[in-house]
A and B are shown apart, each in its own frame.
Chain A
Amino acid sequence: MFSLGGKVAWIDLSKNQVKIESTKKYKKYIGGRGVGSYLVYKEVPETAHPLSPDNIITFNTGPLTGTLSPSAGRINISTKNVATHGISFSNAGGHFAPELKYAGFDHLIIKGKAEKPVYLFIHDNEIEIRSAEHLWGKDTWETEELIMKELADKKIHVAAIGQAGENLVTMACIMFDRSRASGWGGCGAVMGSKNLKAIAVRGKGSLQVYDPDRFIDFNKLLWKRFANSKTIQLFHKYGNLGTSGAGGIDGTLAQSVKNMEDEVWEADKTLQVREIIFKEKYEVRKLANFTCPINCSRFYHVKEGKFRGQKLEALKTNVYRAFGSNIDLADREYILKANEMADRYGMNCDSLSAVIAWAIDVYQKGLIGKNITDGLDLHWGDGDLQLKLFKLIAYRKGFGDILAQGVYRASKIIGRGTEKYAMHVKGHGMCEQSVRSHKGWALGIMTSVIGGGHLAGAPNTEQRRMSPEEGMNFFGVSTAGEPTVYEGKGKLVAWFEKYKIIADMVGLCSFTTYWIDTSLIGPDDFAKLISLATGWKLEGKDLLNLGESIYNIEKAFNTLHAGFTRKDDRPPYKLTEIPVSSGEFAGEKLLPEKWEKMLDDYYIAHGWDVATGWQTEDCLLKLGLNDVKERLKKAGKLPPTKFSKKRREINE
């Protein structure tokens, strides 16, 4: 098999057993998220709690992982979502995924629960289940160091959970190579529930592609496209943070401010956390993901102040917003420290920020008091408070135990009208910018099958102010670049949802795609890369169809496991009621009537039922998903006949 490690490992931790099968079996789903989502759909029973041994967690590489394609180092993690009880997929960079393939494995499927804490050591076609009792209680950084020491090999790459994962915190993530997070869906807690502390990989093998010479020539061409892209040049210059983080390079881009109360942060605060200041004061060097021509990452060294001596690879745009503007904190060093501690405890920045910002918000609004917060005085802009809450959450102590359940459940537990300030999508915490003003972006976040996040299908075309010609040419949507326009966005989001899956299937970063710049890798380019690498004959339209199929499998999983309907694709209270305070988008909010129309367009674009938001028999049959159709039908979750009473009831 060309361009593949060749093996899929099924690891049953209850039985302490590893079974190997050929990757060939899963060719239909290409790899990565395609295989991951399919397996979660197929293997996890509807009755399984995400933290039960019946849930599986899958680590997936793609056919381009470990090759010389741009940014070919992504690992996909699919599992049942701890926050939403629907599907979860997330994606991390670093160098873990290629190493896994060089060790001979394309996918790891882990089920059951080990009797005592364990970690996996995967090396050159072998998998060892080793004791992790000495690692339990350690943070992700300590875990990596101890494993490297134990195995006496500094070339090992480690995926680990911290204390948050061990303590089954809803927003626990998995950290790869210390600073690369697979954040979504509480996948760190799923690992913790299986008593699986870490996975260490070391591979000394090589990958052979189907047509090496043409593969290398095509990649040379792609590399040139990256060098010529103006957007990529911005990444080179300013890193991930500079392009859209601290308000963009000119500081005016929309933010998430104070539990997403607003999109505009005071200029004096934004100026404190501009990329240029991070660059001048702390930047040691630029860093890149595996084979990545973008180098969006930076290594920082804090040389003075309270956190003197701190060294870390850091600051993605979401981290800056989550630990900065969303809690109204304009202190660079506290933001960097929060970045470190979230990495160490192993917690996802978006959902962690969502619950902390919500707690401060409802405390400030007088809905909760010190009797609920265990005496803590919650106020905005307090870096020490944020760090203290991280610890309480990771260890589930006192008030932290409530917050550890995520913003949706915490607000349900506390009640008192705090629920309407919980910023979540389908029960998963949210911390996003521009969601009032940029309508397509907002739609992509709300409809995302993993419960929010902008990496399922939220288009970036509005932020880029794409011209009508370009929008029409690439997506058939002339309004793609107009932030405040609702029309056309349903179709646009549906397109991006099926397209984004391609990058997740093959193992490349979404920054290599049209999501960032239409001069980069499109559907036909992906098809050419896969064909040259594997010898499989594919065209761009085949990949888009497959993307649509996988999105439908994920959507069906949500309907079956979490019971989502149209009402779950609506934005939370704040976004429809509290407008943007000032600036270019002053007065903008999501208008319910227009939202519903946009949602109709979105369902129609997917071929789904407008009244319920469910998938239709026709759409599933057209995609060849007969088994999905049967399963939904059996569960009574295909749309009822038109105008029936049940049809109306579903959405009430």
Chain B
Amino acid sequence: MNRKLAYCLEIDEKICTGCQACVLACSYHHSKMFGLENTGCIEVFRNNKNGDIKINLDKSCCDMCKQEKIPLCIQFCAPEAIKIIRTYQIILNKK
């Protein structure tokens, strides 16, 4: 088993303001369209009753916006709730 340095995104639900700009940025990156569903890797659910914000980030679909210096969702996150996290990818030995 080998380890390879990798990066992924982490979104802080406490800092997020629920504006969904990241969802649209992600949607644009993956489809060149603007929409909230089935077009990107981020889903933001806002509960207006208790102020909760829940975020689903599908890490398997996120490619960190390869062609961009900084992932688009970060560029469009005004409250700076999205961070790049250094992590390790585990590569399983085929044998």
Q: Which residues of A contact B (CB under 8 A)?
A: 66-68, 95, 98, 102, 141, 144-145, 154-155, 177-179, 204-209, 212, 216, 219-220, 223, 226-227, 236, 284-295, 297, 299, 301, 311, 313
Q: Is the CB of A291 within 8 A of B21?
A: yes
Q: Is the CB of A313 within 8 A of B48?
A: yes
Cβ of B8 within 8 Å of any chain A Cβ, yes or no, is no
Cβ of B38 within 8 Å of any chain A Cβ, yes or no, is yes
Q: Is the CB of A311 within 8 A of B49?
A: yes
A-B pairs, 6 with minimum CB distance: A206-B35, A299-B51, A293-B78, A288-B17, A206-B33, A288-B19
Cβ of B41 within 8 Å of any chain A Cβ, yes or no, is no
Interface string of B7-42 (1 = CB under 8 A from A): 000000010011111001101100111111111000
On whether A223 and B78 interact (CB within 8 A), knowing A155-B45, A287-B17, A291-B19, the answer reads: yes
Distance, CA A313 to CA B76, complexed state (A): 23
- Max count, chain A CB within 10 A of own CB: residue among B24, B34, B50, B72: B34
- Max count, chain A CB within 10 A of own CB: residue among B17, B28, B37: B17
Contacts of A177 in B (CB 8 A): 48
Q: A178-B48, A226-B78, A291-B76 are in contact. List 16 more A-B contacts (CB 8 A).
A: A102-B37, A141-B49, A144-B48, A154-B45, A179-B48, A206-B33, A207-B35, A208-B33, A209-B34, A219-B76, A286-B79, A291-B21, A292-B21, A292-B78, A293-B76, A293-B78
Contacts of B89 in A (CB 8 A): none
Interface string of B39-63 (1 = CB under 8 A from A): 1000001111111010000000000
Distance, CA A289 to CA B32, complexed state (A): 23
Q: Is the CB of B78 within 8 A of A287?
A: no
Q: Is the CB of B19 within 8 A of A66?
A: no
Q: Which residues of B contact A (CB under 8 A)?
A: 14, 17-21, 24-25, 27-28, 31-39, 45-51, 53, 72, 75-76, 78-79
Distance, CA A54 to CA B28, complexed state (A): 42
User: Which of B20, B27, B45 contacts A206 (CB under 8 A)?
Assistant: B27
Distance, CA A297 to CA B51, complexed state (A): 11
Q: Is the CB of A212 within 8 A of B32?
A: yes
A-B pair number, CB within 8 angstroms: 101
User: Which of B38, B50, B78 contacts A294 (CB under 8 A)?
Assistant: B78
Q: Is the CB of B17 within 8 A of A223?
A: no
User: Which of B33, B49, B79 contacts A295 (CB under 8 A)?
Assistant: B79
Contacts of A286 in B (CB 8 A): 17, 79
Contacts of A68 in B (CB 8 A): 21, 24-25, 28, 34, 76
Contacts of A95 in B (CB 8 A): 20, 46
Least Cβ–Cβ distance between A200 and chain B, in angstroms:
14
Least Cβ–Cβ distance between A160 and chain B, in angstroms:
12
Distance, CA A212 to CA B39, complexed state (A): 15
19 example contacts (A-B, Cβ-Cβ < 8 A) are as follows A66-B34, A67-B24, A67-B34, A68-B21, A144-B48, A204-B36, A204-B38, A206-B27, A206-B33, A212-B32, A220-B75, A236-B79, A285-B14, A285-B53, A288-B17, A288-B18, A288-B78, A290-B19, A292-B78
Least Cβ–Cβ distance between A333 and chain B, in angstroms:
17
Q: Is the CB of B19 within 8 A of A295?
A: yes
Q: Is the CB of A204 within 8 A of B37?
A: yes
Contacts of A301 in B (CB 8 A): 51
Contacts of B38 in A (CB 8 A): 204
Q: Is the CB of A292 within 8 A of B45?
A: no
Q: Is the CB of A207 within 8 A of B17?
A: no
Contacts of B72 in A (CB 8 A): 216
Least Cβ–Cβ distance between B33 and chain A, in angstroms:
4
Contacts of A220 in B (CB 8 A): 75-76
Least Cβ–Cβ distance between A434 and chain B, in angstroms:
29
Contacts of B51 in A (CB 8 A): 284-285, 287, 299, 301, 311, 313
User: Which of A67, A208, A223 contacts B75 (CB under 8 A)?
Assistant: A223
Q: Which residue of B lies closest to A204 (CB)?
A: B37
Q: Which residue of A lies closest to B14 (CB)?
A: A285
Q: Which residue of A lies closest to B32 (CB)?
A: A212
Contacts of A311 in B (CB 8 A): 49-51
Distance, CA A289 to CA B48, complexed state (A): 12
Distance, CA A558 to CA B47, complexed state (A): 41
Distance, CA A141 to CA B47, complexed state (A): 13
On whether A208 and B32 interact (CB within 8 A), knowing A285-B14, A287-B17, the answer reads: yes
- Max count, chain A CB within 10 A of own CB: residue among B17, B48, B49: B48
